[in-house]
Structures are given as C-alpha cells and as structure tokens.
Amino acid sequence: MILILKPTLACNISCKYCYLSAESKTSNKFDVKFAKSVLQQVKDILAPNKKRRLKILWHGGEPLLWGIKNYTEIFAYIEKEFERYNYSISIQTNLSLINEDFIDLFLKYKVSVGCSLDGPKEIHDTQRVTRKGEGTFDLIMEKVELCREKGLKLGCIVVGTKKHIGKIPLLYKFMCDNNIGFKFNPIFNAGEAKKNIDNYGLTLDEYATMAIELFDLWFYDNKNKINNSVFADIASGLISKKTSHCLFDKNCQDNILAIAPNGDVVPCGRFCDDGLKQYAYGNLHTENLNSILKKIKISDIYNRYKCIEESSCSKCEFFAICNGGCLYDGFAKTGDFKSKTFLCSAYKKIYSHISNRLKEEKLL
C-alpha cells in the first residue's frame, strides 16, 4: 500500500508547470495529531497482514514546510508503532529548504528522498522558478551538494517539457555527471501549467521521441549506472509481464491512499487541487478510514479497471504491462474515469521501442 500524505499544498517556489493551481496552495495544513490518527487507522487495516508492504510518502505542495519539529515527532511515532510492519518512508521535495537537521533526520529514519531537478541550469531555470521568476538551479545544486557531503542519496523527477527538445543528451550527461538517478515524466496540463502550456507543453510525438532517445542513452550506457525507474519498470514488465509502478497498475485504487491537508481522502496525489474536491471519497475529520474504504470499492473510479478490461485496450499487445495507463491521465483529458491514458500513442511507441531493444539483446 502507498500512503501519500500531503500535510500542505503551500509552496515556497512557483514552478511554471505546477499541476496545483495558485489558489489551492493555501497555508492549510493538517497537524501531527491528525497524521498519527491516520497512521493508526492504516496500521489497524494492515494488522491481519503485517508483511504487506507499506510505503509512506510525504508529498505536497512543499512537504518540508511542515517543519522539522513535526517530522521528528511523526518519524519517531512511525518507528515505534510500525516496528513489526514492512514499511518504508519517502519524501518528495523541491529540496530548497533542506538543511543539516533535515538531512540528519532523514538519515536516522532511512527516509528515501526524491527531489525535483529538470536538468542543467539552462533548462531548469526556465521552469523551476521563485515567485519573482528567478531560477532556482544554483540553490538546488547547493542543496544536492550538501546531501552528497552528508551521505544522503537522492532520486529525482525531471518534468519533460518543450524546453528539453533537442537537449536529451545534455540532460542525460548532466544527470550522469551528478550521479542522480531520475524519472522523465511528461508535463500534464493542470493547475498553473494551464496558464503556461504554450511555452512548456509537449505533443505526444515529441514526448515519445525524447523518451526513446533517453532510453537508448540509458540502455547502452555501460559506464554510468544511474537508475531510471520508469524505463526499468517497463523493461522488466515486458520480460515478466508484471509492473510495479502505479502508472501501470491494474487498479491503483487497491494500493493507494492519498490524504489532502484538509483531511480528504482522494484517489491519488494528483487529485488534491481545489478544482477536483468533488472527487474526494470522504474526509477523515468526519469519517473513519474503514467506512471510506467501503465507499472506494463501490465508486466509479475504483471500477475503472473493469471498463478498461472491456475496452480496446484489452486487444493491445502491451495490455499486460500498461493496463490503460494512469487513472488521472485518462480522466484529465476526457473528464471520464473510464478513459485510458491520453499518453496511449506515445506509450505504444515507447513500449515497442523498448521491446525491440530487448529482443535485439536476446533479453526477450
């Protein structure tokens, strides 16, 4: 189970493509007492099967704004309460607020830290900017260095946009030179991104071409050993016919619980924006998790996978590893939860390409 906790949607910077709207990024946050009560309810649900994996992911907004005091208290609580459980903790942060105290805490509790960095300065600074529009590259690289000095390993998300076109080798070299494993996620059109989509948006062909170029650089690179979890997942999925990434889950709603700052339980982290409030399953300030879980099982969202199984996807050669793609990516384009991902045509090209490369190498 992946428990996504979003203590706040507020953020100290202002990325041009952020999928959260400026109006959603209020200073509302849940407190430690609430976080403990959510964790306690999750613990009760997992009690009959303590071996089931639990990934606790702190997210936002900018999750470091929740403050060192709250994290110190909640990590100690998790360590004590989940002692016999199969859990891991991770956090996805813009890294701008990290300091030695946070790093020591993350090391102490073995927290996996994912950051956001869009490549070299000439790309990153066009899109990840402060409220005044200034690039954040120099600050983030200072923090990357601090983490390295203290022995904290980082993973990374790169949001692929128009600014990466023609610059994939540069991006790959930059990540290798800095020894940072990364995922290359295409921009989607939501929140603040809607205002800036003409300057940052990608066509499906542009995304597929860049992803394929990146895959080849990664696949044939015998020197650098940086991780790319999406490519690795697709490749191992093609071999084993099983995937582990939520994007390709048969029914992600069996595995994800996402909690918004106001206590809403939402289908996933992408559904926290104010404009999507009506899709919340329930609110943990007024209902308990068990009763919300019952509502989830009978919802249209939960039943999406049945529609996908009966759709044209079922005849697709990549169905076993794609399952219609991400729930949000289908819904965002059509407003209908039954839809397959809008990235379908790009995915088909990427899957075919990876499959051919695996065959050439006699891995498939």
Ligand X SMILES: C[S@@+](CC[C@H](N)C(=O)[O-])C[C@H]1O[C@@H](n2cnc3c(N)ncnc32)[C@H](O)[C@@H]1O
60 interacts with ligand SF4 by CB under 6 A: yes
Among 14, 41, 130, 224, binds ligand SF4 (CB under 6 A): 14
Q: Do residues 18 and 191 make contact, with C-beta atoms less than 8 angstroms apart?
A: yes
**Of 187 and 210, which has the nearer Cβ to ligand X?**
187
Q: How far is the CB of 50 from ligand X (least distance, A)?
A: 30
Six-digit token pair at 196? 């800036």
Q: What does 322 bind: ligand SF4, ligand X, none (CB cut-off 5 to 8 Å by kind)?
A: ligand SF4
Q: How far is the CB of 37 from ligand SF4 (least distance, A)?
A: 25
Q: How far is the CB of 80 from ligand X (least distance, A)?
A: 27
Q: Do residues 192 and 18 make contact, with C-beta atoms less than 8 angstroms apart?
A: yes
Sequence-ordered list of residues with C-beta below 8 angstroms from that of 116, at least 6 positions apart, any chain: 15, 92, 93, 94, 95, 128, 156, 157, 158, 159
Residue 360 Rama label (left phi>0; alpha psi -120 to 50; beta):
alpha
6 interacts with ligand SF4 by CB under 6 A: no
Q: How far is the CB of 179 from ligand X (least distance, A)?
A: 19
157 interacts with ligand X by CB under 6 A: yes
> Cis (ω within 30 of 0) for the bond into 263?
no
Residues of this chain, 17-56, that bind ligand SF4 according to CB under 6 A: 18, 20
Q: Return d(Cα 236, Cα 232) in angstroms, integer.
A: 6
Among 71, 87, 174, 188, binds ligand X (CB under 6 A): 188
Q: Return d(Cα 143, Cα 305) in angstroms, integer.
A: 41
Helix H or strand E segment including 283: strand 282-283
**Of 137 and 347, which has the nearer Cβ to ligand SF4?**
347
Q: How far is the CB of 163 from ligand SF4 (least distance, A)?
A: 15
337 interacts with ligand X by CB under 6 A: no
The residues that bridge with 239 in the sheet, in sequence order, are none
Q: Return d(Cα 196, Cα 199) in angstroms, integer.
A: 6
Q: Which residues bind to ligand SF4, rule: CB under 6 A?
A: 11, 13-15, 18, 20, 60-62, 94, 313, 316, 318-319, 322, 324-325, 340-341, 344, 347-348
Q: Which residues bind to ligand X, rule: CB under 6 A?
A: 11, 17-19, 59-60, 62, 92-94, 116, 157, 159, 185, 187-188, 190, 193
